[in-house]
Structure 1
Amino acid sequence: PRVRRSLRDRTAGARRRTAGAIATAISVVTTLVVLILAVHIVFVAFEANTANDLVRWFGDRATDLCWQFKDVFQPADHKTEVAVNYGLAALVYLVVGRVLVGLVRRLG
């Protein structure tokens, strides 16, 4: 015989699935942001051609995503400045993303 689940069980299951989907979305977005910042750091470190559309695209996106972290540290060397500041932004995004994923999963 088929056993029907209670409304509470179905609601809890739906809540867990929704929380899981939201947590996955947060994780994917966080990973993409960190990847964009990391690729920009590599492009700057190895002096990629800034006239290249791909290099420019990553640079523009990374600059937008870096917002308040662009000039936290101001070393004399541009490569070091980008590595430290954009790396700091990537680390903050990663930590905040992981904390949010944990909270969403716990609430679900």
Structure 2
Amino acid sequence: MTTVTRSGVVGVLAGVVRWVGLVCALVLAVHVVLTMGDANRDNGITEFFATTADRVVLAFRNLFTPADGKLRVLVNYGLAAVFWLTVSAVLSRLIRRIG
């Protein structure tokens, strides 16, 4: 593989990793906002973000267990969003350096 082709592939791969992290963090943040704002749980948009957020929250879902459900979502899902942003940024830089 030529240097130009390799650097292009590495750039695309790093970009994809970064975008995946950003999208996951965005889904989690929207879920937090909808939860904090008492959005209708039967609404399709709210349901979509809740379902998708439950898939990407990973092990953070029950990391902290305050009695208040809104606070639980804010802390755990918010922490998961920060995790996705951090990990995707680190992996993206690592991919660029290795490539």
Q: Aligned residue for 1:5?
A: none
- The answer to whether 1:65 aligns with 2:29 is no
- Output the TM-score relative to the length of structure 1: 0.88
CA distance, structure 1, for counterparts of residue 54 and residue 6 of structure 2? 36
Q: 1:14 aligns with which of 5, 11, 14?
A: 5
Q: Aligned residue for 1:48?
A: 39
Provide the alpha-carbon RMSD of the alignment: 1.0
Q: Aligned residue for 2:29?
A: 38
Percent identity of paired positions between Structure 1 and Structure 2: 38
Give the gaps of 5 or more residues in structure 2.
Answer: none
Kindly name which structure, 1 or 2, has the bigger radius of gyration based on alpha carbons: 1
- Output the TM-score relative to the length of structure 2: 0.95
Give the gaps of 5 or more residues in structure 1.
Answer: 1-9
In the TM superposition, structure 1's runs of 4+ consecutive aligned residues that sit over 6 Å from their partners are none
